[in-house]
Amino acid sequence: MSNALPKIAWIGLGIMGSPMSENLIKAGYDVTGFTLEQDKLDRLTAAGGTAAGSIAEAVRDADVIVTMVPASPQVEAISYGPDGILENARSGALLIDMSSITPQTSVDLAKAAQDKGIRVLDAPVSGGEAGAIEAVLSIMVGGEQADFDLAKPILEALGKTIVLCGPHGSGQTVKAANQLIVAVNIQACAEAVVFLEKSGVDLKAALDVLNGGLAGSTVLTRKKDNFLARDFKPGFRIDLHHKDMGIVTDAARNVGAALPVGAVVAQLVASLRAQGDGGLDHSALLRAVERLSGAQV
């Protein structure tokens, strides 16, 4: 590894975090990771990274700290307090939070970090597990231009579309809009699948031709096989999309933006979760449409 590359601490090694951290190792970065599950730490070391015993140990010597955890409470838990990032990272370090959280949480974190001499970017991603594995994520960033410029080579090892969207919190606002579009798109695809099947059409042929026209989308490309096989192994869980729909509907209310279709889909996601499907992939919205259409699933 080149000595010119910054040392990276990675906090959070879940469905997204594990393959993303491994892509940084493949790119030549020295990555020290921490998460609560020992098997995830073992996976990191097997890939060439270093496992830390605590957040403090992971971040102490890091030039850049990357976090990828489920929601705002987890970001706050790992960032604040005597054992958190802000108390243990060195002054001048760059914290890149790639979690999907509320814009206000990102703004508050950046302000608190500034008091410690730590720079922050909010940099949530879109692309799901497949995008993380293939390093083709879309990364929407909020923060200062100079910090974005410093982070960009690191982000380029993780994604293909990397854009500074504005000041702190802007990345999270754009991610919220992303999750709105994805949820509505999946719901529309799910309704089309049920309509097509009940009409007796060859579903695979129908989805192939639809995806070649204006109805085509990345969602349909990525989720077509899930629909066909009824394979809802989580790439992005309903539980997390439920959290994200709460973020976007709350943020929209705060700025006075009406989301009539989004509000309905948010309720459909919540309904699916209430029926016990929160751990499934968000393509399982198909199950909710099937139930509404009389199927026993």
pLDDT tens per residue across span 234-273: 989 999 999 999 999 999 999 999 999 999 999 999 999 9
Q: What is the pTM of this model?
A: 0.92
Is the distance from CB of 5 to CB of 30 less than 8 angstroms? yes
Please give the class, per CATH, of domain 173-292: mainly alpha
Beta carbons within 10 angstroms of residue 212's beta carbon: 9
* Catalytic positions: 175
Please state the domain extents for the chain: 8-166, 173-292
For the chain, give the mean pLDDT: 96
Over residues 162-183, the mean pLDDT reads 98
User: Tens digits of per-residue pLDDT, 116-165?
Assistant: 999 999 999 999 899 999 999 999 999 999 999 999 999 999 999 999 99
Over residues 189-218, the mean pLDDT reads 98
Same fold across 8-166 and 173-292: no
What sign for the dihedral angle of Cα 127, 243, 119, 44? negative
Over residues 15-38, the mean pLDDT reads 97
**Hunting for tokens 């302000």 — which residue is that?**
111
Is the distance from CB of 52 to CB of 8 less than 8 angstroms? no
Q: Superfamily for 8-166?
A: NAD(P)-binding Rossmann-like Domain (3.40.50.720)
Lowest mean pLDDT among 5-9, 125-129, 166-170, 194-198: 125-129
Q: Which two tokens stand for residue 272?
A: 């699916």
Is the distance from CB of 144 to CB of 75 less than 8 angstroms? no
